[in-house]
A and B are shown apart, each in its own frame.
Chain A
C-alpha cells in the first residue's frame, strides 16, 4: 500500500489508511434497538425519521430558518455512519477499529454561492443554529417558504440481505485469517501478510426546500491483502483488494482465495521485474483497472465546477471531436454494486448514467445542482460528498470506456516496443493544462508485439486531451476494476469505480531509469 500524494486531485485505492470501520452489534438482531442508531423519541412506524429522531415539522422549521436571510434553496443532509475494521498482522487478528459518525449538514444556496454548516447532534436547537449559520450566505432578508415535504421513492441497487449492524466481529475474523493462510501457502518467499476487512453502512436522509424527501442506505464491503516477500537480499511488497456495495455474502471463499492469491502472485512476480525504461514509449493499457487513466485524463476535467469556473482544459470543448469514433466514455452511478454506484446522489438526484464522450464527441459534464442551473441542463446525479461535514460538489461515480472492435491480442501484437500497464497505485491531474500522471506498480515490456519482462514502480505522465486523441485501438474486452478506488478532491474522499477495455495510446513519458 502506498501513500497517496498530497494536494490536488488524486486517486488512491486500498482505502485511506485513516479510518474505516464499524462496530458491530454483537448480539445478532439487536442493532435496530441499538442506541447507536436511535436518537430521541422516534415516531413509530415512520421509516423516514425513526433512525434520526427528527420529524417532518423539525425539518421544515430548519429549512425555513435556513432561508431566513433570502437564500433561494435550502437542504438538510442527515447521516449516520458506522465503519468497522478488523486487521490481521503477524498471524494474529490483533486489532479492531470502530467509527461512529452522526450529524447533519445544512446548505443554503443564493445564486451560485453556498452557505454551509453542520452539527453533530440532531436536536432542534442545534439544527436551527446550523441553519442560521448557513443562511448567512445571503443577506437580503425576506424569506421564501419551503414546500411541504413529500417522500420521493428511490431505486435499490445494492440491497443487503443481512445488515452489517447484525454481523459480529466473530464472523469477520475468519475472513482475514483465511486470507492470510491462502497468501502464505501460495509461495514460501512470502514472509509477511497483513489483511484487513472492513464494512461500512451509511444512512442518509435528505430534505430540501423544494419539498423533496429522500433516504438511502449505502453499504460498503472491503478486503485488502498485502504481502511482503523476500528472495535473497531483495524484498518486494504488493497487495490486492476487492470492494463493493454489499453485505457479508460478498466475502465468498472464492473471493477471499482470489484476492489472497493475486496479492501473493503480484508480490513474488516483482522478483522477475527489470528496471523500467525511461523516455517516451507507446502504452497499452490492460483491461479493467487501467480505467484510472480515464479518471485522471478526462474524468476530473469533466466535473462541471471546474468548467463553470473556466479552470478546466475541457471548458470550451463540448460538442467537439476529442477522440476516435471507437471511444465512448461513460460515468455511471447505476452500475450494480460497484463502489461508485448510488441510488441517489448526495443532493437527492437519482443516480444515472452520463455519457461524457460518445463516439469521440465530447457530450456532457458531470453536474451538481449549482452547475446544472448555471448551464441550464438537467442534473446528472453527480453531486457527492464525503459526509455531512462537507457540501456536495460534482464528482465521478464509476467511469469507464465501453468495448470497441479490437481483439486485445492484436492490440499487443501491433506494438514493436512499448509498455503494457497493468496495475496502478495512484494518479493525479492538473486540471488547467490537463496534464495527468499515474503510477504503475506492475507492467510488462512489449517487444516485437509480445509481452516480455515485468517492470514496476514507474510514473507515467501525459496530457489528457492529447492522450485521448492518440487512442487508436480499443479492445472488445471491457472490464471494471473490482478493487477499492477512492478519489480525493477539495479534501473530500469518496469511493469510485472505473474500467476500461484493452486500449492502445500513443507515446507517454515513462519515468524509469534505464535507456
Chain B
C-alpha cells in the first residue's frame, strides 16, 4: 500500500509543479479504524471506516500555503491544485519558507521501531473486538467495591494503515503502522446525587503489549472509587507528589514554550534561555524518537528530516528547542525538529510508596481538571484531584482544589523522581515529588 501512496504523492507533486509551484511537500495517509464499544452487558456502538487524506504544502514564487483534502478523485484534485496554487500566488512572499536542506533527510534510523503488528491486526475481527470489550467490562465488575457501580463502558479499538511523505527536493519516506486500544470507564455512586467516574486505557502498537483486562479494569474502578467522599482541604502550601501518568499535564506547560513558533512570536518565557538552569538538577529529559513500540516513534519528522534523540533538559539545564526549518530560519538558529516524540526521563530509585513515606504529609495528585499555563509568563493554575497524605499514608480523597505556580520557580521545588516509569504513554515519566507548592481549597 505504501508504494501506491508514494506513487500518488509523486504524481501530485508533479501536478502541482506543472501548475507553477516550485516546491511541494505531500503527505498522504490511509488507514482503517475499527472499534466496538460495550456498555452494561450489551453492545453499544460499532464503528469502522477507512479514511484517506492528502496534506499539501505549496511553495509558489516565494509564497507558502498548506492545504488538505479528502476528495482525491482526479477531477476534484485538479481543481483543488488549480485553486490552491493560484491562491498562494496572492500572498506576501516569505523568504524563510523553504524545504529543508536535503542533507537533513539523510541518516535515518534503520532499526525496527515495531510500529506495525500485522499478526495482531489479523487476530482482531469484529466479534473478537466485541469479546474484548465484554471481557474488559467483566474485569471492571469483578473488582473490589463493584457494588457501587452505576454503569460501565468499555471499548476495544484498533487501526492499521500507512502514511507517506514526499517532497520535490528528494525526500521520500513511508511508515506502516497499527495501534491497539483498550479503554474502560466506570461510574460509581457517591454521596447524594454525586457520582464518581474513573477511566483507564492503554494504547500500544503491538497487540500483545496491551495491559491485561484485569489491570485496566481494576485501575478504572479504583480511580472511580477513590473519588468517593472527596472534599477540598484548606488552602495552603503543601508538599505534593504527582502520579506518573499525570505528570504530563503540568510538564506540558514547561515544554510548550520550547516551540519555535512561540519563541519567534515572543510568546515564550524560555526565550534565550538555552544553557540556563531552569529546573532542579535532578531533572533530565530526552526527546527520543526511537523508542521501540511507541506510537510516537518515527524515523523522520513532519518535514521529512531524519530524527535523532535530543536532550531537552540535562541536569536541569535547557539544551534544545523544538525548531522547524521555518522558525529556525526566522530565529537565526539551526533547525532541530518541530515535533515532540517520546519524552524519556532519568528515573529515581524509589517507588511511589517510598515517595509517599519521604513526603510524610501533603497531597498525592492523581488527576488534573482544567486550568491552563501562560506560555509567555510561565504562570499556571490547574484544578487537581487526589488524596491527602499523612505520615506517608493516604488518609482521605481530595477534590475541588487548584494548584498554582510559575514554571521558573515551580521546577526548583522538584525534589525527587520515582522509579515507577509509566510506559504506556509518550511521556515515559515516573512520579514526581515536590515541596512547598501553593494549593487553593477551602
Interface residues of A (CB under 8 A from B): 2-3, 5-6, 8, 10, 19, 23-26, 34-36, 39, 86, 89-90, 92-103, 112-121, 130, 133-134, 136-137, 168-170, 173, 191-192, 194, 228, 230, 235-237, 276, 278-280, 309-317, 389, 391, 425-428, 430-439, 456-463, 465, 509-513
Q: What are 24 contact pairs spanning A and B, CB under 8 A?
A: A5-B371, A5-B372, A6-B249, A35-B75, A39-B73, A86-B91, A89-B265, A94-B97, A116-B47, A237-B375, A280-B235, A280-B441, A309-B187, A311-B151, A426-B370, A428-B369, A428-B370, A432-B196, A433-B194, A435-B400, A437-B383, A457-B380, A510-B440, A511-B381
**Shortest Cβ distance from A78 into chain B, in angstroms?**
13
Given contacts A95-B66, A137-B43, contact A310 B151 (CB under 8 A): yes
> B residues bordering A, Cβ < 8 Å?
39, 42-52, 63-71, 73, 75-76, 78-80, 83-84, 86-88, 90-94, 97, 126, 150-151, 153, 187, 190, 193-197, 224, 227, 230, 232, 235, 249, 252, 256, 265-267, 269, 330, 368-377, 379-383, 399-405, 438, 440-442
CB atoms of B404 and A458 under 8 A apart: yes
Known: A237-B267, A434-B194. A116 touches B45 (CB 8 A): yes
From A23, A113, A117, contact of B84 by CB (8 A):
A23
Residues of A within 8 A of B51 (CB): 118, 120, 389
Interface centre among B78, B153, B197 (most CB of A within 10 A): B197
Q: Is the CB of A100 within 8 A of B71?
A: yes
Tell me the complex Cα distance, A153–B117, Å.
50
- Which among B47, B50, B84, B235 is the interface contact of A98 at CB below 8 angstroms? B84
List chain A residues, Cβ under 8 A from B52. Answer: 120
Contact A435 B69 (CB under 8 A): no
**In the bound complex, how far is the Cα of B375 from the Cα of A509, in angstroms?**
23
Roughly how many angstroms separate A425 CA and B107 CA in the complex, as a whole number? 42
B70 and A433: CB pair below 8 A? no
Beyond A113-B42, A113-B43, 15 extra complex contacts between A and B, CB < 8 Å: A5-B368, A36-B83, A39-B73, A92-B94, A98-B67, A99-B68, A113-B44, A117-B49, A120-B51, A235-B269, A237-B374, A311-B151, A311-B187, A433-B230, A437-B402
In the complex, how many angstroms separate the beta carbon of B284 from the nearest chain A beta carbon? 24
Distance from A205 Cβ to chain B, minimum over Cβ atoms (Å): 16
Shortest C-beta distance, A436 to chain B (Å), equals: 7
Chain A residues whose CB sits within 8 angstroms of the CB of B442 once the complex forms? 279-280, 509
Task: Judge whether B265 and A279 touch: CB under 8 Å.
Answer: no
Tell me which of B49, B330, B380 contacts A130 (CB under 8 A): B49
B266 and A100 within 8 A (CB): no
- The CA-CA distance from A432 to B399 in the complex, in Å, is 13
Cα–Cα, bound, A239→B194 (Å) = 37
With beta carbons under 8 angstroms apart, the residue of B78, B379, B402 that contacts A461 is B402
- In the assembled complex, the Cα of A114 lies from the Cα of B37 at a distance in Å of 9
Report if A121-B73 is in contact (Cβ < 8 Å); known contacts: A100-B68, A432-B194: yes
Residues of B within 8 A of A460 (CB): 402
Q: A3-B256, A430-B369 are in contact. Are A236 and B377 (CB under 8 A)?
A: yes
In the complex, residue of chain B having the shortest beta-carbon distance to the beta carbon of A119: B49
Q: Please indicate which of the listed interface residues A96, A112, A133, A230 has the most CB atoms of chain B within 10 Å of its own CB.
A: A96
Known: A98-B65, A391-B47. A511 touches B440 (CB 8 A): yes
Bound together, the chains give a CA A389 to CA B53 distance in angstroms of 13
Contact flag A509-B382 (CB < 8 Å), given A97-B65, A431-B197, A461-B369? no
Chain B positions within 8 Å of A92 at CB level: 92, 94
A7 to chain B minimum Cβ distance, whole angstroms, is: 8
Which residue in B63, B75, B382 is a CB contact (below 8 Å) of A94?
A: B63
Q: Determine how close the nearest CB of chain B comes to the CB of A136; give it in whole angstroms.
A: 6
Smallest CB separation, A137 vs chain B (Å):
5
**Would you call B196 and A433 a contact (CB within 8 A)?**
yes
Residue of B nearest to A139 (CB): B43
Is B44 a contact partner of A112 (Cβ separation < 8 A)? yes
Q: Please indicate the chain B residues that have their CB under 8 angstroms from the CB of A26 in the complex.
A: 83, 86-87
What are the residues of chain A within 8 A of B69 when measuring CB–CB? 98-101
Min distance, Cβ A190 to any Cβ of chain B, angstroms: 11
> Does A120 contact B379, Cβ atoms closer than 8 Å?
no
Given contacts A26-B86, A433-B399, contact A36 B76 (CB under 8 A): yes
Q: Quick check: B399 and A435 within 8 Å, CB to CB? A: yes
Contacts of A426 in B (CB 8 A): 370, 372
Q: In this complex, what residue of B is CB-closest to A33? A: B79
Taking the closest CB of chain B, its distance from the CB of A410, in whole angstroms, is: 28
- Cα–Cα distance between A391 and B48 once the two chains are bound (Å): 12
Choice from A112, A114, A317, A461 contacting B400 with Cβ under 8 Å: A461
Q: Which residue, B69, B256, B375, B400, has most C-beta atoms of chain A within 10 A?
A: B400
Known: A24-B83, A278-B404, A312-B195. A194 touches B67 (CB 8 A): no
With a CB–CB cut-off of 8 A, which chain B residues contact A461?
369-370, 383, 400-402, 440
Instruction: Report how far A95 CA is from B196 CA in the complex, Å.
Output: 46
CB distance from A319 to the nearest CB of B (A): 13
Partner pick for B235 among A278, A316, A436, CB 8 A cutoff: A278
Contacts of A228 in B (CB 8 A): 265-267, 376
Assess the B370–A10 pair: CB atoms within 8 A: yes
A432–B226 alpha-carbon span in the complex (Å): 13
Q: Is the CB of B372 within 8 A of A95?
A: no
Contact present for A389 and B49 (CB under 8 Å) = yes
Query: For B403, what are the chain A residues with a Cβ–Cβ distance below 8 Å?
Result: 511
Q: Is the CB of B46 within 8 A of A23?
A: no
Instruction: For the complex, give the distance between the alpha carbons of A112 and B39 in Å.
Output: 10
Bound Cα distance A118, B66 (Å): 25
Residues of B within 8 A of A278 (CB): 235, 402, 404, 438, 440
